[in-house]
Chains A and B, each alone.
Chain A
Amino acid sequence: MTLIDWIVMIVTIIAIPSFGLWKGRGSNTTSHYLLAGKSMPWYAMGLSIMATQASAITFIATTGQAYVDGMRFVQFYLGLPIAMVILAATAVPIFHRSGVYTAYEYLERRFDAKTRALASLVFLVQRGAGVGIALYAPAIVMSVIFGWNDQVTTLIIGTLCVLYTTMGGIPAVTWTDVLQMSIIFAGLILALFTVVALMPRGVSFTDAVYLAGAVGKLNAIDTHFDMNNRYNLWSGLLGGTFLMLGYFGCDQSQVQRYLSGKSVAESRLGLLFNAVAKVPMQFFILFVGAMVFVFYLFAQPPVLFETTAMKAIQGQPGFTEVQTHFDQAWKSREQAAEALNAARKLDDKAALAASVQSYRAAQREIDGARKDGIKLYEKTQGHPGFNDTNYVFLTFVTKYFPVGVIGLVIAVILNAAMSACSGELNSLATVSVMDIYKRFIQDAGTDTHYLLVSRICTALWGVWAVVFAQFAKNLGSLVEAVNLVGSYFYPVLLGVFTLGFFFKRVKGSAAFWAMLTGEAAIIACAVFTNVAFLWYNVIGAVVVVLAGLLFSVIFPPTGYNQQQ
């Protein structure tokens, strides 16, 4: 990076939280610190919800995913608008009316203390691990691309994030998210314009779109139903709806955003803004990745995008053959792409059909050469599962983007890490204070006392996030496991909230045991079947609801519960 890139990056990542702190100044009550005094307008909530959900990896991995696998990942988000509508109609008014600080507080009012405690614990474990990874994941990518020390990166970004979250509470977090999301949108648009501008002479935007489409990189919708296929229309619509219901309806990091709304209507609009904007945004990010693929048709990419992996195989026996094969395959593909482009412009159907076939064959050839490189690396490491999609976009940006734009794109990625992390810190502190400290340890404190404890909890969770991120490098597959395990919990939370909202007969003990039964069902699915993970959300939530109904017969409501 040049000096100008450094200036752009540093100014961006410092100026944005400063703006958030200034806009969110005056957090001198618990209600203002944790819920912004219920004063947030819909657009701020909507952008903050998007920013909290979009981590740094969303931007660097999604573009890489389109490069490798095409645009079918967009189907993962198709359930989001449906979930937003359901939540706007149900959860938003219910949570608002009940005047709760956390979603889990509602569970005690509806069921009992043990159900609230179990749900809070599930959230703290899941998010507590996730918050460190939100910091660590971009740092490790930066360390490979730029050679930055990943521990220093997490320390600097984490400290900045903890400072503004602790000082300003949710108002600072939300207003910072608003600006961060605006910068992210601007950065994405700039990235698309830049990648199109970098195409070689003679390759227009339309040509690039056709070249991406010819090898399936623009296949966004797959209507074939397959329970084992991770991304198709049906898994996205059904599994995705359940997943998003669980995330936006039961995860405090999201619920807290719309609890801070001025009114039920403002909170609803915040969620519905997300419903309208999120899918096109993901499509846009994937499309940028597809354009990066086209760029690399005319500029030779490395065999492996992760430089440390590339260095590791360079001295190995068999590398020369892999590199030679890759060089030849890339040259063939370049020629085939040029031939296809020419045939398309001549409108010669026979030539077009022939050139498409040779272009696709060339793509298969280069895919094969890349796989050989991956196998060679996996052999040197002694374990399978290598994936370098996180490095595709940043490798491209740092090598080809103009001065200044590189700094902005890196700032966008670091901003995304901070916005995801700050939202999680804020929600972890809220649950720690309201669902654990105030409920079980000290229930007679003053507002000043709880405000102080909230700030301390935010800082402590921040320290935990930075420390966890320092050691995340040594956790290896545990990091993947934590991400995966996180997706095991939402269905159970979704199931218990569904029981709470819609099935009045089901009371405390039935709901508690239904949660445990649902969790057992998900674990059984993961261990004994090959069902794709999006379906766990459907299975888990349905099992909790059915078990809750069944247990409500076994544990009939009595006494206090019955009066409720």
Chain B
Amino acid sequence: MAKPFSFKLPEEAHDPEPPPFLGTWNVVYAAVLGWLLVLILVFAAFTRYFSRFYL
């Protein structure tokens, strides 16, 4: 019997086909999330720069 609150990635989610670049999907996902982090930092710097300049 399954555990009442078990949580795991289903088998169907695993795909053997590799991405066309960066080797594995996990690296591709990390690159996308890294891009998001860069965007947030750039937007924060953008906001901070213009606020600081005039205060």
Which of B6, B20, B28, B36 is the most central at the interface, judged by chain A CB atoms within 10 Å of its CB?
A: B36
Bound-complex Cα distance A210 to B47 (A)? 11
What is the predominant secondary structure among interface residues of chain B facing chain A? Answer: helix
Q: Which of A88-96, A320-328, A379-387, A410-418 lies at the binding interface?
A: A88-96
Measured CB to CB, the nearest residue on chain A to B19 is A265
B10 contacts across to A, CB distance below 8 A? 90, 94, 501-502, 504
User: What is the CB-to-nearest-CB distance from B18 to chain A, in angstroms, rounded to a whole number?
Assistant: 8
A213 contacts across to B, CB distance below 8 A? 49-51, 53-54
Question: Digit string of B34-55 for contact with A (CB within 8 Å is 1, else 0)?
Answer: 0110011001101101110110
Q: Which of A50-58, A144-152, A215-223, A308-316 lies at the binding interface?
A: A215-223
Bound-complex Cα distance A376 to B9 (A)? 58
Q: Which of A80-120 contact B (CB under 8 A)?
A: 81-82, 84-85, 88-90, 93-94, 97-98
Counting CB contacts under 8 A, is B23 at the interface?
no
Q: Contact check: which of A212, A276, A283, A502 meets B8 at CB < 8 Å?
A: A502
Bound-complex Cα distance A501 to B12 (A)? 9
What is the predominant secondary structure among interface residues of chain A facing chain B? Answer: helix
Bound-complex Cα distance A263 to B53 (A)? 50
A265 contacts across to B, CB distance below 8 A? 15, 17-20
User: What is the CB-to-nearest-CB distance from B8 to chain A, in angstroms, rounded to a whole number?
Assistant: 7
Bound-complex Cα distance A9 to B53 (A)? 43
Q: How many residues of A contact B (CB 8 A)?
A: 47
Measured CB to CB, the nearest residue on chain A to B3 is A505
Q: Contact check: which of A97, A221, A280 meets B47 at CB < 8 Å?
A: A221
Contact A220 B43 (CB under 8 A): yes
Counting CB contacts under 8 A, is A19 at the interface?
no
Counting CB contacts under 8 A, is A34 at the interface?
no
Contact A219 B36 (CB under 8 A): no
A97 contacts across to B, CB distance below 8 A? 12
User: What is the CB-to-nearest-CB distance from B41 to chain A, in angstroms, rounded to a whole number?
Assistant: 9
Bound-complex Cα distance A233 to B17 (A)? 35
Which of A74, A85, A98, A276 is the most central at the interface, judged by chain B CB atoms within 10 Å of its CB?
A: A85
Bound-complex Cα distance A221 to B25 (A)? 30
Bound-complex Cα distance A380 to B26 (A)? 59
A272 contacts across to B, CB distance below 8 A? 28-29, 32
Contact B35 A218 (CB under 8 A): no
A219 contacts across to B, CB distance below 8 A? 47, 50-51
B6 contacts across to A, CB distance below 8 A? 503-505
Q: How many residues of B contact A (CB 8 A)?
A: 35
Q: Which of A492-549 contact B (CB under 8 A)?
A: 501-505, 549
Counting CB contacts under 8 A, is A482 at the interface?
no
A502 contacts across to B, CB distance below 8 A? 7-10
Q: Contact check: which of A82, A209, A210, A268 meets B33 at CB < 8 Å?
A: A82
Measured CB to CB, the nearest residue on chain A to B33 is A85
Bound-complex Cα distance A94 to B36 (A)? 25
Contact A233 B40 (CB under 8 A): yes
B5 contacts across to A, CB distance below 8 A? 503, 505, 549
Q: Given the known A-B contacts A90-B9, A503-B6, are A221 and B15 also in contact in the complex, defined by CB atoms under 8 Å?
A: no
B14 contacts across to A, CB distance below 8 A? 93
Q: Contact check: which of B4, B12, B19, B47 meets A218 at CB < 8 Å?
A: B47
Contact B43 A89 (CB under 8 A): no
Contact A214 B39 (CB under 8 A): no
Which of B6, B17, B54 is the most central at the interface, judged by chain A CB atoms within 10 Å of its CB?
A: B54
Question: Digit string of A551-563 for contact with B (CB within 8 Å is 1, else 0)?
Answer: 0110000000000
Contact B17 A263 (CB under 8 A): yes
Counting CB contacts under 8 A, is A264 at the interface?
yes
User: What is the CB-to-nearest-CB distance from B32 to chain A, in angstroms, rounded to a whole number?
Assistant: 5
Contact A210 B50 (CB under 8 A): yes
Contact A549 B13 (CB under 8 A): no
A209 contacts across to B, CB distance below 8 A? 50
Bound-complex Cα distance A356 to B19 (A)? 51
Q: Contact check: which of B8, B17, B20 meets A264 at CB < 8 Å?
A: B17
Measured CB to CB, the nearest residue on chain B to A97 is B12
A505 contacts across to B, CB distance below 8 A? 2-6
Q: Given the known A-B contacts A74-B43, A221-B44, are A268 and B25 also in contact in the complex, defined by CB atoms under 8 Å?
A: yes
Bound-complex Cα distance A503 to B3 (A)? 9
User: What is the CB-to-nearest-CB distance from B14 to chain A, in angstroms, rounded to a whole number?
Assistant: 7
11 A/B residue pairs, CB under 8 Å, sorted by A? A81-B33, A89-B13, A90-B9, A94-B13, A210-B50, A214-B54, A263-B17, A265-B15, A275-B32, A276-B35, A279-B36
A contacts, CB < 8 Å to B: 74, 78, 81-82, 84-85, 88-90, 93-94, 97-98, 209-210, 212-214, 216, 218-223, 233, 263-265, 268-269, 272, 275-276, 279-280, 283, 352, 356, 501-505, 549, 552-553
New contact pairs (10) apart from A82-B33, A502-B9, CB-CB < 8 Å: A78-B39, A81-B33, A89-B13, A93-B13, A213-B51, A220-B43, A222-B47, A268-B25, A502-B10, A503-B5
